[in-house]
Amino acid sequence: MSAPAAIHAAARAPAAQGASDRGILFDGVGVTFGSLTVMGPVTLEVRPGEFLVVIGPSGCGKSTLLNLVAGTLRPTIGTVHYHGKLVSGPNSDVGYITQKNYCLPWRTVEENVKLPLEFRGYSRRDMDERAARVIRQVGLAGFEKHFPKQLSGGMLQRVMIARTLAYEPATYLMDEPFASLDAMLRMRMHHDLMALWQATGATFMFVTHDLHEAITLADRVVVMSGRPGKIKLVQEIDLPRPRNIVDAQSDPRFSAYFRTLWQALDAH
């Protein structure tokens, strides 16, 4: 069996006893809307605390995987288990970040960050402490009283990350969060995201179309086929952690991973 085939087969094998109690398990999952099958069947385990990146052509079900974990979508076939429990409704244990800006324009940075804490019934003191901590963590100290219209695109994205950080989810679902940013700002956000992942120990599922972004961030990259989306390849990314963004992209292994992933995407 070739190395890519072996990796692919291992990723699709049943989870080890007890592993799915801590991770995320997609077991024979498929999603159909009317007569259109969007994705599946897909079997995949997301390891606890790993940074998993999903790539593939538009419409192949990448975002669908995130929605299944979040519990905002139910599979047509198969099951999704999160920390050993069947996902059958909204999953309050995850944080969901997209490229869209959902900041409320009439609320300041501080007030936007506190929003999910208000919904969860935190005390004012807890909200103040948590908001102050995560605003510092994402590098927005000094901008607490600014409104969204006063912030750049990258700063708005940091507000969205801080708002999610505030309630400390065990899993972060990120759907092309940096797609609208310029190249320099994306690199800065990659650096900040790596620091966040290292600091929290949380599980990350990250969707992107950008191969450089995928390799830079990931422990493993999942390559999806065209619709209906199925797993074509699961590639381990063996680059040093903690990962320096510039050093990682200059590593000879980076180019090799790029070729492997591109060939998987380009194969019919």
pLDDT digits (tens, 9 = 90+) for 126-155: 999 999 998 988 889 999 999 999 998 888
**pTM for this entry:** 0.84
Same domain, 144 and 49: no
Write the single-letter amino acid at 105. Answer: P
Q: Are 10 and 82 contained in the same domain?
A: yes
Peptide bond into 242 cis (omega under 30): yes
Shared domain for 13 and 121, answered yes or no, is: no
DSSP 142: T
Q: Are residues 194 and 257 in the same domain?
A: yes
What's the rounded mean pLDDT across residues 199-215? 93
- 209 and 117 in a single domain? The answer is no
Tell how far CA 58 is from the center of its chain. Answer: 17
**134 contacts 166 by C-beta, under 8 angstroms:** yes
CATH number at residue 16: 3.40.50.300
The reply to whether 118 and 164 lie within a common domain is yes
Closest by CA to 54, choosing from 235, 245, 181, is 235
Average pLDDT over residues 20-27: 82
Same domain, 117 and 188: no
Tell me the average pLDDT across 232-237: 96
On whether both 137 and 27 belong to a single domain, the answer is no
pLDDT of residue 3: 37
The domain boundary residue, chosen from 149, 168, 187: 168
Within this chain, do residues 69 and 160 fall inside the same structural domain, yes or no?
no
For residue 141, give its domain range. 101-168
Overall number of domains in the chain: 2
**Number of helices and strands (H, E) in the chain?**
9, 10
- For residues 108-121, give the mean pLDDT: 93
Query: Are residue 185 and residue 258 in the same domain, yes or no?
Result: yes
| 12 shares its domain with 80 | yes
Residues 17, 62: one domain? yes
